[in-house]
Structure 1
Amino acid sequence: ALEQMLYNHKSPQLFTVTPQFGDEKFSLQAKLSFRTNPDGSYSLVPHFIRNEPQLDQEFKGYTFTKEDKAELHKTGNLGKVVDLADPKTGEIQKCLVSIDKLTNEIEAMPVNKIYIKPKVANIDLDMKAIGVLKNGGLIREQHIELPNGAKFTADLQYSASKRDIVFVNSDLYRHNQAQEKGEQQQARDTWHNADGSLKRLERWCKIPLNEQQQADYLAGKKVLVGEGKDRFGNDCTIYFQYDPKKGQPETTRVYPDRNKVVGVAEESKTQMAVNNDGKTNEATKNMKEPLQRGQAAPKDDNQQHQQKKPKGPKI
């Protein structure tokens, strides 16, 4: 995967990434790639799975026709060169367009950056054939023999998503396409197994679940997870239960005294005002370190010394 990514490709397979929203983490599947930043450094970019390719929306200034959509659904490739606008510079480039079969992401490849090897599997390509492929065309009914011994007949076409020649309109392609679709549906569903049953969860809100809690969740029961805190630091009792309408588990938090819970816990209000809002009070205005949770005054001799007003210069 790393070798592919170093050549400006996406990883060929999906990886599990765990973005965090508030105090909860979610496991999602994504392909990965590198992005070059203006300062020359690199960032890792996730390409999450989409429910379907956004073919009804304009793509880099191009609107897909009914025929375009049919071709993309059939082979994954547009099959022709189109003019697309570079999103950074606005420059118009002649490109091939394809759909990533695992993520449903629409991708483009400028024709002037396409490199096609002179041999694909056992097929030798002359300059005329390479020219056809660079323009999105098909080299039809080629008798393919793979190094593993597999033999089949297929058309050759360039994929902007894979940055390589792919086999289309063959029994092997249709088999792979069905397999990829099954993998895509399974990867998209975080909460269910391939057979539609609920996945067993070992933790919720960072709290480990015992065997009984896991069994109760799988049975559709409301599960008492334990005592925890919400994103504002308030103490609460956490429950969760699978919601069949939403197709995912939902969290419920019960507070000891709900009327006292308004945004930030009372004990943390001074800390929030000083550290986040830049406010001061007489007890902490000269301190250099950020306040800790529940702190409203100097915590030790060092901070007490910082808080003393400095004397003026000697004359």
Structure 2
Amino acid sequence: MKTNNGKESTEKIKVQDTLLALHHQTNTIGIVQGVDLNGELIVDVSKESYKNGLRFDRGDDRFLEIYSTFYHQLKNPDEFSFFKVTEFEAEQTVKDLQHYIDTASDDEKEKLNEYSVSIDKVEAQKEYIARTQKERYQYDVEQVDWKMMSQIGLTKEKLESMGALESLLKGYKTSMLIPVKIDLGTVVVILDARLSLKVNEVGKLETRIHPIRKECDFTKPFFGHQFSQGDQKKLLEIGNMGRVVELIHPITGEVIPSLVSRDKLTNDLVPLRVDLVRIPLVIKGVTLDELQKKTLKEGKPLYIENMLSRRGTLFNATVQFNTDKRYVEFLFPRNISNLNLDSNLSFKKDVPATFRGKKLRSWQVEKLNKGEVAYIDGLVDRKGKKYQGYLRFDKRVGKFEFSFKNVWRENLKNKKSGIRRGLNL
């Protein structure tokens, strides 16, 4: 679109929809103008009606609610069928539809119902959205104490623009650190913190502030649990303690089997009852068996093979449940190496029966179990081409290592050669 000075305008034209009404008794089509105080539909067929008709922004999520309200205001809504069209098409559609009605048989007129706005479908869609919205969010936005939020320098609009409001309403902590204003009377402090919502003892939803801690405090008991050196090491290096511990509720004294992870943004220690741990049935295309689900529910790391990436390629990785994130996370290689320091962590250490779709022979499994290198052939790549190579199994992480050449033999030769030179043999 060009402006008066000939320059291109970047302003987008908003497309709006309007409603057409077909009166079943008179077989006339008109543009809906509204509803009068008596519940009678106001329909106009004059040329001016195209400018003054009832309009909705295209794609407006509120259409279902607006249409439902409009429909139920009518005294006799069953006397009409309604059709939604764009404002640009309204005038011509009225003419075309009227011509169709004038010449159509009763059966052909019935077919128009396929294109009309059905109140039953609208109500069903409204109910579905309301139900899924309720399942999706743990809290309603109206429950939030926005007055308290304003005292720490935050508003609904600000949290929305930061992408933080949705995670709060879902019952999670914000995924990012948020600048929070703390007014101490004589001085105002701005600090970075994560936020969460929680219902307090009197049933009121309150905002919780999780500031950054310099380090985790392992000197004091954590809900009755004293962290071992191994616990501390895993929490600091990996982020997950990796085992179930019994925590004591500070008020009721109830002993609660729980998992513990570290919030890597704030250094908070985050407990979660084991009965609230939810393990997915499928991870990246791999259906978990009962043993794998049990392993993850106990907080242990699990090595999974042949998962499907977004690019459609297969990959292997170690996963573990994180109580702070409330889901199973992928562990990075640097964290996996830290896991190997503790032999009590339960990886899948047995040699799998297959490698890249080919069943291993008993002698290959035997060599791999001994930590030796096994030759393997008959492998097929994605293009259908056969290839072969050498295989080794690292029991520390439960992972195959493959090489087209026996690089481990070369490394062993070089190592022996270095030993000879060092001994002057």
TM-score by length of 2: 0.38
Q: CA 1:117/1:66 → structure 2, altered by over 3 Å: closer, same or farther?
A: same
Are 1:11 and 2:180 matched, yes or no?
no
Q: CA 1:118/1:88 → structure 2, altered by over 3 Å: closer, same or farther?
A: same
Cross-structure match for 1:99: 262
The answer on whether the counterparts of 2:212 and 2:267 sit within 8 Å (CA) in structure 1 is: yes
TM-score by length of 1: 0.51
1:56 & 1:131 partners in 2: Cα distance?
A: 31
2:246 & 2:325 partners in 1: Cα distance?
A: 20
1:57 & 1:150 partners in 2: Cα distance?
A: 46
1:37, distance to aligned residue in structure 2 (A)? 2.1
Q: CA 1:118/1:45 → structure 2, altered by over 3 Å: closer, same or farther?
A: same
Cross-structure match for 1:74: 237
Cross-structure match for 1:268: none
How does 1:179-258 map onto structure 2 within 5 Å? none
How does 1:125-164 map onto structure 2 within 5 Å? 125-147=288-310, 153-164=316-327
2:312 & 2:292 partners in 1: Cα distance?
A: 25
Q: Secondary structure at the match of 2:321?
A: strand
Q: Secondary structure at the match of 1:117?
A: coil
Cα deviation 1:2-49 (Å, max 9, x = unaligned): 333334321111111010122322211111111202332201111001
The answer on whether the counterparts of 1:133 and 1:158 sit within 8 Å (CA) in structure 2 is: yes
The answer on whether the counterparts of 1:19 and 1:26 sit within 8 Å (CA) in structure 2 is: yes
1:143, distance to aligned residue in structure 2 (A)? 5.0
1:159 & 1:61 partners in 2: Cα distance?
A: 21
Cross-structure match for 1:259: none
The answer on whether the counterparts of 2:249 and 2:255 sit within 8 Å (CA) in structure 1 is: yes
Are 1:25 and 2:188 matched, yes or no?
yes
Q: Which amino acid aligns with 2:239?
A: G
Q: Which amino acid aligns with 1:130?
A: K
Q: Which has the higher helix share?
A: 2
1:148, distance to aligned residue in structure 2 (A)? 6.6
Cross-structure match for 1:40: 203
Cα deviation 1:277-304 (Å, max 9, x = unaligned): xxxxxxxxxxxxxxxxxxxxxxxxxxxx
The answer on whether the counterparts of 2:193 and 2:210 sit within 8 Å (CA) in structure 1 is: yes
The answer on whether the counterparts of 1:152 and 1:172 sit within 8 Å (CA) in structure 2 is: no
Structure 2 stretches lacking a partner, 5+ long: 1-163, 338-425
How many equivalent residue pairs? 174
Cα deviation 1:59-91 (Å, max 9, x = unaligned): 000000111111112211110000001123221
Q: CA 1:148/1:44 → structure 2, altered by over 3 Å: closer, same or farther?
A: farther
Q: Secondary structure at the match of 1:97?
A: strand
Which one has a bigger Cα radius of gyration?
2
Cross-structure match for 1:54: 217
CA RMSD of aligned residues (A): 2.4
Q: Which amino acid aligns with 1:138?
A: P
